[in-house]
């Protein structure tokens, strides 16, 4: 099944218009730059309204995912440092 979710590129990172489940595989199609884009978000160069409920929800979800990723990385680092395969001197 395929679902279309729009988004914008900010600082080289694709920011979807709604949160995606962790691990979702995506395929990005960039429309040709010929003529005006039918999607006004593709021509958006400013900032979204920080008080918009969907923007707040998205940013909270991004912060949660960032925390989870950091926690997972720290756990993995600790597991590696405690691994019996770690050379001893």
pLDDT digits (tens, 9 = 90+) for 56-81: 888 899 999 999 999 999 998 888 88
Reply yes or no on whether the pLDDT at 34 is more than 80. Answer: no
CB contact at 8 A, 56 and 50:
yes
CB contact at 8 A, 8 and 41:
yes
Reply yes or no on whether the pLDDT at 31 is more than 80. Answer: no
Residue with tokens 């405690």: 82
Q: Which residue has the higher pLDDT, 39 or 64?
A: 64
Q: How far apart are CA 3 and CA 20, in angstroms?
A: 11
- With cut-offs at 50, 70 and 90, classify the pLDDT of residue 37: low
Q: What count of other Cβ atoms lies within 10 Å of the Cβ of residue 53?
A: 8
* SS3 assignment, position 55: helix
- With cut-offs at 50, 70 and 90, classify the pLDDT of residue 44: low
């Amino acid at each position: 099944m395929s679902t279309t979710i729009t988004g914008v590129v900010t600082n080289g990172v694709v920011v979807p218009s709604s949160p995606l489940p962790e691990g979702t595989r995506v395929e990005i199609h960039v429309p040709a730059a010929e003529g005006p884009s039918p999607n006004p978000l593709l021509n958006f160069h400013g900032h979204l309204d920080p008080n918009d409920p969907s923007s707040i929800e998205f940013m909270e979800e991004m912060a949660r995912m960032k925390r989870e990723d950091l926690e997972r990385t720290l756990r993995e680092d600790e597991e590696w440092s405690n691994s019996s395969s770690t050379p001893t001197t």
